Amino acid sequence: MRSSWFRPTCRSSAAAVAAVLALTSLAACGTSSSDDSGSGGGSKADISAPLDPKTKVTLTIDCMPPAAKAAELREWKEDVREFNKKYPNVTISGKSTPGQCEEPARFTAQLKAKSQPDVFYTYFTDLQQVLDNNGAADITAYVTPRTVPALDSIDGNVLGVLKKDGKLYGLPTSNYTMGLLINRKLFERAGLDPNKPPTTWEEVRTAAKKIAGLGNGISGYGEYSAENTGGWHFTAAMYGLGADVVSADGKKAAFNDATGKQVAQQLHDMRWKDDSMGKTQLLKWGDLQKQIASDKLGMFLAAPDDITYMVQQLGAEYENFGMGSIPGGRTTLFGGNDYMIKKGSSPDKIKAAIAWLNFKTLTPGKGQFQWDRTKADKLPVGLPQPNFFTGDTKAKDLASRTKNATMPVENFKPFLANTVPGKAEPPKAQEIYKVLDNVMSGVLTNRNADIDKLLATAEQQVNQVLANR
């Protein structure tokens, strides 16, 4: 064994030569090619036409379901096969991401590197930074009722967040509005009515106290305070009370006011006066889901698809959860995710991408909307997410969802019945969320937190972020 240390040096005899070779061979060896947009077929004349099925295109795309989500991965593969019946020359080369499809810091780094795949997953909040990095192609001319038949029934607000100066840069795959996710079992045990989730913060506080009273390490209400998710929920709470975090012109922070203090004070009281929020803080997305799935948490603010995640990955059961509307109920944060197409892609690539996205994510009855298949695969059906269709299309899709529902849809009644108007996330959302994380971690970890100071510091930082560029 010992001689093996020596051998590699020995083998690579021409050390100096090898050194030079090593560096020059960079030119030949496997590096991630940043762009290979071979400008294929000559259908440039009419970019609003659908893809010519004869065109040969390879698309790289991220956010393919990972092996751990076996059923979803199987559906993905089925969809690729069916898509290839119509477009046999389009190769869909999917990359799966084991955790969340987007991790903000790494996504930013990836944009800088221009190493995103041809078709890449983003949050609704990412448009500005994608454009700052010249990351996405303008697809306005490509997206027409001919290429995306359901286009006219897609909610204008949703398409709106994917537009900048009238140009469209992405197609939505899912969207959500925030609500209050509850653990029905714990509600019942605490003598609360699981069909009537709290609708105001006062009720949340009372309910949380009762649930925490069950003991055994159970907390009533949970909140994030790390990795941008704390600021995200702070914003959601502000929206619920009808307030905003950024002024209307998008230039100044607007959370250092009575409502901001109310939100922070409320959480501080629940954490320290009522002790209804558990001891462990600095939580991020994924942590509260684990807690509520193992019946250690009564409620928290969430998007409906958290339930999918918990059932699929944490072994939870649908029956155990319900949802109410956001406390306060004035406006509710809406967000979601979408796919964009890398800037510099050839027209054929863009067309192929739109054809695939249309098939997989925007066609009622197909792809992600093929609810009978979803049900057969024992995946959740019945959640109000995605929810971007309007009019007839919505009604039809809803009917199909209800018919194939795999969960007690009535548990979501309080959430669906109260249609709170949605409100888009602030500009530079991820930066602002990052700053607001500190406010959240401050009130949740420091009994003597100085709320005025926390908000004032955050305001100064957010103003700086907004002023920069």
Q: Which of residues 430-449 bind other proteins (CB under 8 A)?
A: 430-431, 434, 437-438, 441-442, 444-446, 449
Distance of alpha carbon 271 from alpha carbon 276, whole angstroms: 6
Determine the interface stretch with other proteins among 132-140, 190-198, 317-325, 415-423 (rule: CB under 8 A).
Answer: 132-140
- How many binding residues for other proteins (CB under 8 A)? 93
Q: Which is nearer to other proteins, 217 or 391 (CB)?
A: 217
The reply on whether position 251 binds other proteins by CB under 8 A is: no
The reply on whether position 37 binds other proteins by CB under 8 A is: no
Judge whether 224 and 233 are in contact, CB under 8 Å: yes
The reply on whether position 46 binds other proteins by CB under 8 A is: no
Q: Which is nearer to other proteins, 92 or 241 (CB)?
A: 92
The reply on whether position 419 binds other proteins by CB under 8 A is: no
What strand order describes the sheet that includes 179-183? 219-221, 297-302, 179-183, 321-325
Judge whether 437 and 233 are in contact, CB under 8 Å: no
φ and ψ at 209, to 5 degrees?
-60, -45
In terms of C-beta density within 10 A (0-12 exposed, 13-18 middle, 19 or more buried), how is residue 282 classed?
middle
Q: Which of residues 315-334 bind other proteins (CB under 8 A)?
A: 315
Q: How far is CA 446 from CA 231, 271, 273, 388, in A?
A: 17, 9, 12, 40
Q: Which of residues 276-305 bind other proteins (CB under 8 A)?
A: 278-282, 284-287, 290, 294, 296
Distance of alpha carbon 148 from alpha carbon 162, whole angstroms: 16
Q: Which is nearer to other proteins, 219 or 346 (CB)?
A: 219
Q: Shortest distance, CB of residue 248 to other proteins, whole angstroms?
A: 23
Grouping H, G, I as helix, E, B as strand and the rest as coil, residue 116 is coil
Helix (H) or strand (E) run with residue 171 in it: strand 170-177
Q: Which of residues 165-224 bind other proteins (CB under 8 A)?
A: 216-217
Q: Shortest distance, CB of residue 226 to other proteins, whole angstroms?
A: 4
Grouping H, G, I as helix, E, B as strand and the rest as coil, residue 433 is helix
The reply on whether position 113 binds other proteins by CB under 8 A is: yes
Q: Which is nearer to other proteins, 311 or 444 (CB)?
A: 444
Tokens of 438: 């500190």
Q: Shortest distance, CB of residue 224 to other proteins, whole angstroms?
A: 10
Q: Which of residues 2-31 bind other proteins (CB under 8 A)?
A: 2, 5-6, 8-10, 12-20, 22-24, 26-27, 29-31
Tokens of 174: 């899912």
